[in-house]
Amino acid sequence: MTGVLAIAGAGGHGRVIADAALECGWHEVVFFDDRFPHLVSTLEWPVLGTFADFLGNVSRFKGVAVGIGDGRARLSILDRLAERDAPVITIVHPHAWVSSRAKLGAGCMISAGAIINVGAQIGRGAIVNTGATVDHDCRVGPGVHVAPGAHISGSVEIGANSWIGVGASIRQGICIGSGVIVGAGAAVVSDLPDDVVAVGVPARVRN
């Protein structure tokens, strides 16, 4: 890729995007973060300004991405980028595997070792993290984070802004609502409503 990729958010997730982008062929990455001007670089990459500066300068860049871990905040910035017709990119690490018959929304991040199978639909701004798997015909909503090593069986539906914890597993055909947190290592074997926290094996809603 020629041109500059600008990333909003210079924390851990932003750096993961930058690293994957370079593996995908981008040659130059810059960051914007509200810790500027106290933060002027992250690893070897410069931080050029705040989020407001980012939104005001998106037309300068070949591509833009949102490197914020919180799903709602990520989607909010993506909404504002859409209003500006910004060149939002989706990053698929070259060591991930995504079926040509899967669909990825704008602004997704698919990390190294992830697998997304045939018929799966990944909503905009979603993260499928390191070594996670999303099997056939799943529908993963916008802003969802599938954490490292989580495994989602076929025909699962996950609502917007849900978080599937590290090493969690979800049985086929399950429906998970919006704003749900599934704890690390949990095994989800029954449907979950909106805005709950589910932990354990089998996963149970925490009161």
The C-alpha atoms of residue 15 and residue 17 are separated, in whole angstroms, by: 5
Per DSSP, 124 falls in state T
Cα-Cα-Cα-Cα dihedral sign, residues 65, 67, 68, 71:
positive
The C-alpha atoms of residue 74 and residue 70 are separated, in whole angstroms, by: 6
Please indicate if the annotation marks 69 as binding a ligand: yes
3-state class (DSSP) for residue 2: coil
Please indicate if the annotation marks 85 as binding a ligand: no
Q: Choosing from 27, 93, 136, 151, which is the catalytic residue?
A: 136
Please indicate if the annotation marks 38 as binding a ligand: no
Count Cβ atoms within 10 A of the Cβ of residue 127 and give its class: 0-12 exposed, 13-18 middle, 19 or more buried: buried
Strands 163-164 and 169-170: unpaired
Please indicate if the annotation marks 70 as binding a ligand: no
Tokens encoding 198? 């589910």
Catalytic annotation present for 38: no
* Residues acting as catalytic residues: 136
Binding-site positions for substrate read 33-34, 69
Binding-site positions read 33-34, 69, 145
Binding-site positions for acetyl-CoA read 145
